[in-house]
Every structure is written in structure tokens, then in C-alpha cells.
Structure 1
Amino acid sequence: MNGNYYLFTNLLSDEETRIITDIIGHIERGDGRIGIQQIANENFVSSTFIIKMCKRLGFDGYSELYYHLSQRVNVYSQAPRDAAIRELVDNYDENIGKKFCALLSEFQNQKIFADGSGFADLVADYIVQRLAVCGFMVFNRVHFYDFMIFHKESKALVTNIEPSLMIAISQSGEAVPVLNDVRTAKSKGFKIICFTKRENSTLAQLSDLVLIVDGAKQMLVGGIPNPFFGRVILAFEELMGYYFRTIGESDTVEIK
């Protein structure tokens, strides 16, 4: 199962996700046209439940949903898996994708923080919301600051901070508020994923995984047009798609 159900992530309950995953599995295995009753039986629901789900997702019925998923699987199988992400992340290779997945998997049950300043703070907020929708416990830089203050003030009760993951965004890689948070996180044992234009920036040097976005076009933050921040969001979406495909294919992801 390659995770094509990811396109419905915002809309599906756990039970509905299981149904979509089952349908996609049949399509990928080449089982032929599977009827609604078989899908209902395999997932211990009624055919009426599936029809209502289809209507809620904007389809006329089960047949239209099945056709849509078949088309998505066919397009996906014909296109290179990482073509889109390679267009967005200058230094992308398979190891970077695997490491991203491994870091998310390692800290999926811990507090994850997204950090940015200025326009990058808006991107960080998007990442917070996307990860939260996908079931992660995630917070922005304001929460990180409060988190550190809390542990400093309550050190008599809490003797350590459990290391986790921070995703940092800075076009220049030199944004002082972001660097301060990253250094604090590093001192507590956090792993750092960063999105930046500059591979030789301070942020890149501090990070465990560096994703270079739009690096060939060096410009001021106020330059117009400035595609960096939009491309980071698109790159993150592609990486999340890769993550969901990966966990669908393997129970574990190892960092190499």
C-alpha cells in the first residue's frame, strides 16, 4: 500500500482510512474491480456506511470513488516517485528522504516543534497545523520558548527535558531568533531539520538534516517574487507524502 489515501488525510476517520487503504490495496495488487459489498465485509461495515462516506467526500457513489482511486494509483505508478520533491529541494536524494522519515518516526510520540521568524514563522505555523492533522503532537516557537521557561522554573521537579525534534525554517539561515532556539534545542539533545537557501549558513551547520530550497536564486527576503517560502510548504507536503508511503510499505525506517 503506497499511501495514496494521503490525499484524503484531512477528511477521513480511522475507519474510513482503513476502507480507502483496503480499496487501494486491491487496485495495486491488480485484483480487478472489487464490489462495494466485498469492501464492506472486509472492513466490518455496511455498504450504506461506504456510500455515505463517498457522498461526504464529494463522489456520487462507490463506483466514482473507485474510479478516482484507480486513476490516482495509475498516475502514481507511472511517474517517478521523487520527481516533484527533486524539483523543490536542491540537494534531495533518497537518503535525505529516508532520514526525514526516520526522524519523524523516531519522535512521533514526543513533542515536535516548528520554528521560524518573520515570513518563515507563517511557514512554521503551516507545518504545525499539517503535522497536527496527521496525528503528531506539534508546537510553534512561542510554545518552545514557554516550554523552556517552564522547565527552567520547575527544575526542582523536572530534572531533564526529553530530547525531541525541531523543524527550523530560515531563508538566509542566519535569523537570530531561530538560531537561538536551535542552539537551545541542540543543547537539550534535540535533532534539527532545517529548510534554508544557503547550505553554508549557520543554521545548516547546526542541523542534522539540511534541505536546500531555491538555493540557486540568492535574494533578499523582501525581493519580489520570492518563491522560497511557498516552495518550502510544497516541499514539506511532498516529504509528508513520502513519509506516509514509506510507513505503508515498511513497519520501520532506519537512518543511514
Structure 2
Amino acid sequence: MEELFWVLLIGAAVLWTAVIGAAVYAQKRQVDPSLERQARWFIIWGGAVIPTLLVGGLLAWGMVILRDITSDTGDLTVRVDGERWWWRVTYEGPEGDVVTANEIRIPVGQTALFRLTADDVIHSFWVPALGGKMDMIPGRETTLALTPQEVGNWGGLCAEFCGGAHALMRFDAIVMEPGDFEAWLAAEAAPAQVSEDDPGFAVFQEEGCGACHAVRGTDAAGPVGPDLTHVAAREKLGAGVYEMTPQNMALWITETHEMKPDIDMPPYPDLDGARLDALVAFLMSLDHAE
């Protein structure tokens, strides 16, 4: 997409310079009736033929690049569903789907095909450093193919106003070396390591968290909210907004709507003391097994 931008910019600059230059030249040229035929050809070629060829060439170039980013094939396929106001992320693979949320990791130098949908209203998937945005429309699937060329965390966001917490609907877009990505995906596919006598897991069950959230490897299989199987392995909390720390996790549980207004998750202001500490410790333990 960066290449497309620069080509279009240079083409537009050439066209603008040529048209303005021709206008200035015509205005300053002394009127000479004997040159009427040459002037007519100057207008035809300079004002119609050459601009049409230039714009047509730019259009063809742009269509080729757009064809590439809307391809229906890739080295890996990632389904992303835009929710209010977070991202459900599913990696498709021959051994089954790997479900996560609010963080997208892809290997450098490989094409990731994103299959995009929306749960409620129109969202828009955009990683500015990697490519153009693509709308996510309820009841319809759109596709976007991205091939990152550099390792790093480039960050993404929703680029279509979608309601109250739209400005806080972000995600980490992390580009990794292929070997590191494969190791991460294998760890992400594994179930959580949870002890049945963990006091924090007991609080998790007592408060009904499993009705909305899934933790693979336990009986928590809620389909409503983000999958929490490896929530502590993510770099951010609250859909790319807050650092993943115990302090922020505690605030997210007790002051949810102050952290992110209008979201569906209810706050638990009465959860405090040892029970809150135990729940936070449990959630922060949901990392990748060493």
C-alpha cells in the first residue's frame, strides 16, 4: 500500500505540474492566428490524451495492488470478528482452530489472509503500518491479505465509528519471525494449566465468569466475551488499551465502565480484599506454559 501511495502521489504531481505548466505557457504565449492548428493539437494532447493515459495507467496499477490485498489465499488464515468493542480472533489450521482475542500475531514475510466479519454494527479493521483498512459488515465476510516485511508491534484499530467505546477499540498487531510465530501459536493452542484447588479459580466460578468467558482446559466455556485461556500472555488489556498488569486487571474487574465506557461486561465493585487478589492472581497466571 505504501508503494501505491507513492506512485499515485508522484503521478498526481506530474499531472498537476503538466496541466498548470501548460496553462501558464498558453497564457503567456503571444496570440498568433497562424498557430491555431498547433494550439488545437496542444489542447487535445496536453489537456485530454496525455492526462487520460496517465490517469488510466495509475488506475490499472492501483487495481493490481488492490487485487493482491483482497486475495482469497494466504500462508495462514485468520478470522477476525468485530464485537462491541473488542476483537474475536481465530487462527484456522489443519489441527483445529486456535481462539484468542484483541491481539493478532503474524509471521514476517508471509501472507496472512484475514476473513473479517462483524457481530453487531459495521467496524473497520486497520493496521496503518501494514496496509489499507477493510470494513467488517454484519452478515457478510470481507477479506484482506497482508504481507508484513518487518518485525515489530505495529498496532491496529477500528477505523469506522461504531459507538460509545469506538476510540478504545484497538489491538496489538505483532509481526514475528516465522519460528517464533509457530512456537507462539502452538503455545496458544494448548489448554490452560489450572489447578482445581486454585482459590482464584474458585472465585472465577463463584462469580459466574465462565458464563461469558472460556478458559480451555476447564469447564468455563462462555461464548459471549473474549477467550481468557492465555489472557496474561497478551501485551495489552481491554482491547489494546491498557498494559497487562495486576493493577490494571484489578481495576478492569472492579471499575470496568470507568476503564472502558459502555461495554457489556458488568463491573464487580463489591469484589475486594483477598477474593479480588486471588481472582487477579488466577487471571495473571493464565500465561503460556514454560
What TM-score range do you get, normalising by the shorter chain?
A: under 0.3
| Structure of higher CA gyration radius | 2
Higher helix share: 1
Normalised TM-score (structure 2):
0.21
Normalised TM-score (structure 1):
0.23
Higher strand share: 2
